[in-house]
Amino acid sequence: MTIPDENPAPAPRRGRRQQWALAASLALNLLLVGLGAGMVARAHMGEGARAFLHGEMFRDRAARDIDERASRDAGRRTLRAQVRAVLDARAPAFDAARARVAEAWRAVRAATGEEPLRTARLEAALADLRAAQQALTMERHAALVTLAARLSPEERARMMRGLERVAQREGRAR
């Protein structure tokens, strides 16, 4: 029976030259792989890669973005001014239609609060409410037609995108 050594011999160490050679080889391989990947990317990306490397793309894009934003803001201000003009001109009609809807809702609440419930009165109040809401919708549509007649095709498209976003937010459109 043999007794194991209390202090086993240390594992042999690689020489420092082997470690340096391994590190140098690894660095050289990474450099060659990086150069190859860069050459392939440059060949496939063409002028865009050269512009990107020289920073030209960022200056051009920033200038385009500033111009587009200024143009878009001016277009929005113009569209808002036209919308405001149409709404201001039709304000009395809108106010009257909204007041009629509010009065119709009060009549519906009064009819549902009666004891005993008189269904004929509730049905009449609901019919008045439908008519008032229909009149308000017709007023809105008339304002939309008036506004659309004043706008260019691009402005009408912008207006419709805005209306569709509002309708989607409110759950009215698919």
Confidence of residue 16 (pLDDT cuts 50, 70, 90): confident
Cβ-based neighbour number of residue 144 at 10 Å: 15
Structure confidence at residue 125 (pLDDT): 94
Q: Which residue has the higher pLDDT, 13 or 37?
A: 37
Q: Which residue has the higher pLDDT, 10 or 113?
A: 113
Structure confidence at residue 135 (pLDDT): 93
* Containing structural domain, residue 117: 77-169
Q: Is residue 15 part of a domain?
A: no
Q: Is residue 4 part of a domain?
A: no
Question: Each residue of 42-84: pLDDT tens digit?
Answer: 666 655 555 555 555 556 666 666 767 777 777 778 878 888 8
Mean pLDDT, the chain, integer: 81
CA–CA distance, 141 with 130 (Å, rounded to integer): 16
Structure confidence at residue 51 (pLDDT): 59
95 has pLDDT over 70: yes
Q: Is residue 132 part of a domain?
A: yes
Q: Give the pTM.
A: 0.52
Cβ-based neighbour number of residue 101 at 10 Å: 18
115 has pLDDT over 70: yes
CATH at 121? 1.20.120
Confidence of residue 123 (pLDDT cuts 50, 70, 90): very high
Q: Which residue has the higher pLDDT, 70 or 113?
A: 113
Confidence of residue 9 (pLDDT cuts 50, 70, 90): low
Q: Is residue 14 part of a domain?
A: no
Q: Is residue 50 part of a domain?
A: no
Secondary structure (DSSP) of 92-155: HHHHHHHHHHHHHHHHHHHHHT-SS--HHHHHHHHHHHHHHHHHHHHHHHHHHHHHHHHS-HHH
Structure confidence at residue 151 (pLDDT): 85
Domain count for the chain: 1
Q: Which residue has the higher pLDDT, 60 or 99?
A: 99
CA–CA distance, 14 with 64 (Å, rounded to integer): 60
Q: Is residue 23 part of a domain?
A: no
